[in-house]
Amino acid sequence: MKPRPTACKNWLGAEQARRNAAGQDRWEAFAGHREQIAARLLACASAPPGKLCVLGAGNSNDLELGALGRAFAEVHLVDIDEEALARGVARQADADPRAVRLHGGIDLTGCWDMLGDWSPGRLPADEQIQVAVERAMAASPPGLGGLFDVAVSTCLASQLIEGAVLALGPQHPRVLELILAIRTAHLRLLAELLVAGGKGILIADFVSSETLPELLAPAEPDWPELLQRVVASRNFFHGLNPFALVSLFRGDPLLAQSTTAAEITGFWRWRQGTKTFAVCAIGFRRAE
């Protein structure tokens, strides 16, 4: 296993920092999304309080840090954008500084530094893409101070996958290979961060109203019917078919060996400005 790179300062990192800065004041817009995440995390809390790890915390607009700090002995927030983490915690006055631990500048792909050297106008050789795939799949978990009772990825998978698409372009013949490597590695990382019997949650936005306008309708969707239709028409973000994500826990040898009980536990809509995203939560356990 190779160590995971840290503090990737490149155009992809700069773009993520720009987006975080632009979204730092959207606390109210995240209210419903934040409630969904809080309910799932608080349901995982135990007595005595355990340790929680959040991957992709960013501005923490989707996290009730005060409530989480009371339910967990430690709340570890991980993101590549150090400034966003600091801003997010400072904004929540009830966040307990004794409970919240920040881990900024952490690359959660294993190859973000390479992706940031590429663009559709500056494409890498096949050998470089192969190295990126191998690095993603071989990267060891970052040092975060031990294992966790609960670990969650909060709509981070779509951002990591988007990095690959931005780096190579959506039509590149090997972009899907890189996407799938990053996706598999991310699920493995989430599982590797857990203690035996620990609970993992993957929260993923998988389609938006840009291609599925009915998400803007007032009525709540018929989620099973919508999901069947979205999957049949392949109208989902690259690599984020919810059925495929659940299947990966059973089909990937390492995930199949290390996890149990992976299942979709719910859907909701997340409104952001003029767009609305469909979000699913997938829960699983680390094998005993």
First-residue to last-residue Cα distance in the chain: 22
**Within the chain, which residues score under 70 in pLDDT?**
1-8
Q: Which pTM value belongs to this model?
A: 0.95
Domain annotation for the chain: domains and CATH numbers: 11-206+238-286 (3.40.50.150)
Q: What is the DSSP code string of 200-253? A: EEEEEEEEETTT-GGGGSSSPP-HHHHHHHHHHTT-S-TT--HHHHHHHHHHSH
* Residues 10/116, Cβ–Cβ less than 8 Å: yes
DSSP designation for 173: T
Q: Average pLDDT, whole number, for the chain? A: 95
Instruction: Determine the Cα–Cα distance for residues 16 and 39; give it in Å rounded to an integer.
Output: 27
Contacts (Cβ under 8 Å, ≥6 apart) of 125? none
Distance CA 77, CA 100 (A): 7
Tokens of 151: 């670990």
Which H or E run contains 11?
helix 11-22
Separation of alpha carbons 32 and 37, rounded Å: 9
- And the tokens for 57? 């915390």
Torsion of CA 62, 63, 67, 73, to 10 degrees: 160
Tokens of 279: 């979000």
Please give the order of strands across the beta sheet that includes 259-272. Answer: 100-104, 74-79, 51-55, 148-154, 194-208, 275-286, 259-272
Q: pLDDT at position 14, please?
A: 87
**Per-residue confidence (pLDDT) for residue 5, from 0 to 100:** 61
Rounded Cα distance, 52 and 65, in Å? 11
- SS3 assignment, position 128: helix
At residue 273, the pLDDT reads 86
The CA distance from 13 to 10, in Å, is 5
pLDDT tens by residue, 43-69: 999 999 999 999 999 999 999 999 999
CA 226 to CA 235: how far, in whole Å? 11
